A and B are shown apart, each in its own frame.
Chain A
Amino acid sequence: MKVEAKHELESAKKVMTGADVLINALVEAEVDTIFGYPGGAVLPIYDAIYRSNAQFEHVLSRHEQGSIHAAEGYARVTGKPGVVIATSGPGATNLVTGITDAMMDSLPIVIFTGQVASNVIGTDAFQEADVMGITTPITKYNYQVNQLSELPGIVKEAFHVASTGRPGPVVVDIPKNISAELSTAVYESHFELPGYQPNKTPNPLQIIKLTDALSRAKKPIVLAGAGVIFAKATNELIEFAEKYHLPVTNTLLGLGCFPGSHQLSLGMAGMHGTYAANMGLYECDLLINIGARFDDRLTGNLKHFAPHAKVAHIDIDPAEIGKNVQTEIPVVADAKEALEALLKRSVELGDQLVWKERLARYKQDYPLWYERSDQQISPQWLLERVHQITDGEAIVTTDVGQHQMWAAQFYSFEKPNRWVTSGGLGTMGFGFPAAIGAQLGAPGELVVSVVGDGGFQMTAQELAVVKERNLPIKILIVNNQALGMVRQWQESFYEERYSESLFVQNPDFVKLADSYGIRGMRVNKEEDVQEVLEEAIGFDGPVVVDCQVVQQTCVYPMIAPGKGIHEMIGVSK
């Protein structure tokens, strides 16, 4: 009798581990997918995952870098935070590239790292790494949990910080003794952040200044970046541009936030952008930047960037305004709210016919171009075919290099959240694992991963995940037997000294796919491209297509390093 009563009491006050507390906090944060890899310091967490009947998926990668890039792809496509778990020491350090990538591209990622037990932190214990020290400069914020009672509050705060304001990665470092601790207590998840109050609403005065400037402008242009996508402000941007007939150009990461086929679209600006977009930025007298950070690959030499323009900059992060380009009209706000405020006011615009005609002429006279080989597959033509066969509706992830630029140039994006690429850090190895996260985040969608033969080899081990989950991703390797972008720069700026950029040995990518149980295809003649691509894209399951393309092709047009935005080379044949 007595024993029974005691038993009842115990089950009423449920004994949980710290890891169970973490799982509950993740459920509360509405996490549906976790990308991770186990190890000693997270064993209690993985045990809790095993025992839990929570409704989330855990996706086991084959390298922690695969986990975090997948989480980034997931975040880009869904707009929700990506979640990562890794063990202490090497598990955590394997995440460093991905965390930095997410920081540079403002992606909401919450990362849980295991840590050695509190009592041995600082003693160089087995698999100890100073995760706080290592990740402080590459995170929006980071935490080490000192007491189990803090954990739910920290988790809630971490998701809040990662996904509000300017999004970014947040690390939560959890010592093993805390995830293993037994407790029956119920903890509060309250948090307070007096120093973090992102301002979403624009200052009305600046909105008036902006519309006034617009009414006086003769050559206005809009530069739209990823901030528009994060703010889900595509419709407002289209409405604003159409209301005043404003030409719109995109940054690399902003592609898709304004329809590429729209009459007002000038295409992408920057190093490999269109002539029309770059000349538009050079000649404009009013530049309205919405959610872009004036990265140097966009601006070229700052001395020549929009030299005659009054600059208005809408950004949720005040520190980006005036950082690189002097700004007359600073608007600290969420892009959507700012655009809504702009739309509420109406001004008369002056005559802009000359400007319109000028840009139209640039667009018509200097479209993107390429030379077609009669021997081998031209990579740009290949990407045009991909666009045509997928009706421009695929989610496209890319790696970094020439193929990335060709995808940006020749796969015109009509909608946001369908373009997944590594911009700020330019991380090779990103594209393929990002496709895994993108596919898991958008299960019904067609995901095409355009990768280089170099970058694919950096994270190809994730093919195991694709097979395991039968993710129908189409992996197109733009195989030029080279680190093509490096080769291009050596051709142009190092007198064709191809130092360590031409591959003597690549794997047989078809056999590689086959060894993972994935269908592999190869195409090396133009006449076969249509059939092979249609077959691959129509196939119900993952496919790796080794597309062997011309090695010597260069990405044009181009702003050479150090040159101004008006000094593009390779503008036409």
Chain B
Amino acid sequence: MRRIITATVQDRSGVLNRITGMLHKRQFNIESISVGASETEGLSKMTFVVEVSDHQKLEQLTKQLNKQIDVLKVSDITEKAIVARELALIKVGGSGQLRAEIQGIITPFRATVIDVSRDSLTIQVTGRPDKVEALIALLRPYGIKELTKTGVTAFLRGQQPNQVTELNSFTI
């Protein structure tokens, strides 16, 4: 099962290495990690998307993360109401007529063209990972020359409904 886990960590040297090393050593399957500053100086937020086989594995993962000296808080937010976003930059081949066609595809995704050259254009898309994936799939036939994704970053919504509906929950 795919889970989304966040961790608040102290900004100490080697912290990213320490955590990824532990995940690697204990054979956890990580799909993406994103790290960045948080609202508090000296603390960073990490967001992991992981694939785990069962609940025991998942519990081990959160426990092993918590055990790290630099980690202050670990949350499995998969089943919460969350906002989860990732950003992708996609360079596709295209000139002339194709451009208009591509523009037509990306508009409903609220993606934007951020760079254009004679025979290519670069698209930026932000959103839930499933949306980003969907756009990438639509663009594939046009020939993707280069692609980069930031990985998911996420946190809880301001308000948690009593019952989290399927729609709210994080799907990729």
Contacts and interface: CB of A to CB of B under 8 A. Distances in A.
Nearest to A194: B72
Contact of A137 (B25, B68, B70): B25
Contacts of A319: 60, 63-64, 66-67
B17 A136 contact: yes
Which residue of A136, A141, A144, A195 has the most chain B CB atoms within 10 A of its CB atom?
A195
Interface string A293-312: 00000000000000000000
B59 interface: yes
Contacts of B22: 137
Nearest to A132: B14
Nearest to B70: A195
A133 B22 CA distance: 12
A322 B9 CA distance: 24
Contacts of B124: none
Contacts of B72: 194-195
A146 B13 CA distance: 10
B21 interface: yes
Interface string A258-282: 0000000000000000000000000
Contact of B69 (A146, A193, A323): A193
A149 B60 CA distance: 38
A140 interface: yes
Interface range on chain B (Cβ under 8 Å from partner): 20 to 34
A417 to B, nearest CB: 26
B18 interface: yes
A139 to B, nearest CB: 10
A355 to B, nearest CB: 29
Contact of A195 (B9, B25, B60): B9
A196 interface: yes
A358 to B, nearest CB: 31
A326 B60 CA distance: 12
A408 B76 CA distance: 43
B78 interface: no
Contacts of B25: 137
A75 interface: no
Given A136-B14, A195-B9, A195-B10, A322 B21 contact: no
Nearest to B13: A144
A144 B70 CA distance: 15
A323 B56 CA distance: 7
Interface in A130-188: 132-133, 136-137, 140-142, 144, 146, 161
A318 B71 CA distance: 14
Interface in B8-50: 9-10, 13-14, 17-18, 21-22, 25
A71 B62 CA distance: 33
Interface string A528-557: 000000000000000000000000000000
A193 B42 CA distance: 12
A136 B64 CA distance: 14
Nearest to A192: B10
Interface in A322-346: 322-323, 326
B67 A137 contact: no
Interface in B53-102: 56, 59-60, 63-64, 66-72
A317 to B, nearest CB: 7
Given A195-B9, A322-B56, A323-B60, A317 B18 contact: no
B22 to A, nearest CB: 7
A141 B69 contact: yes
Contacts of B17: 133, 136
Which residue of B14, B67, B72 has the most chain A CB atoms within 10 A of its CB atom?
B67
B43 to A, nearest CB: 9
Given A140-B69, A193-B69, A194-B72, A318 B18 contact: no
A132 B9 CA distance: 19
Which residue of A318, A319, A321, A323 has the most chain B CB atoms within 10 A of its CB atom?
A319
Interface in A171-221: 193-196
Contact of A161 (B63, B67, B69, B71): B69
Nearest to B71: A195
A195 B43 CA distance: 11
A196 B60 contact: no
Contact of A136 (B10, B18, B59, B71): B18
A322 B58 CA distance: 11
Given A136-B21, A141-B69, A326 B64 contact: no
Contacts of A133: 17
Nearest to A198: B67
B66 A318 contact: yes
Given A193-B69, A194-B10, A195-B68, A322 B59 contact: yes
A321 B59 CA distance: 10
B12 to A, nearest CB: 9
Given A137-B21, A322-B56, A196 B14 contact: no
Interface of A: 132-133, 136-137, 140-142, 144, 146, 161, 193-196, 317-319, 321-323, 326
22 contacts: A132-B13, A136-B14, A136-B17, A136-B18, A136-B21, A137-B21, A137-B22, A142-B14, A144-B14, A146-B13, A194-B10, A195-B9, A195-B68, A195-B70, A195-B71, A195-B72, A196-B69, A318-B63, A319-B60, A319-B67, A321-B63, A322-B60
Given A137-B25, A144-B13, A144-B14, 5 more contacts: A137-B21, A137-B22, A142-B14, A195-B71, A323-B60
What are the 4 A-B residue pairs with the smallest beta carbon separation, nearest first? A319-B63, A195-B72, A196-B69, A319-B67
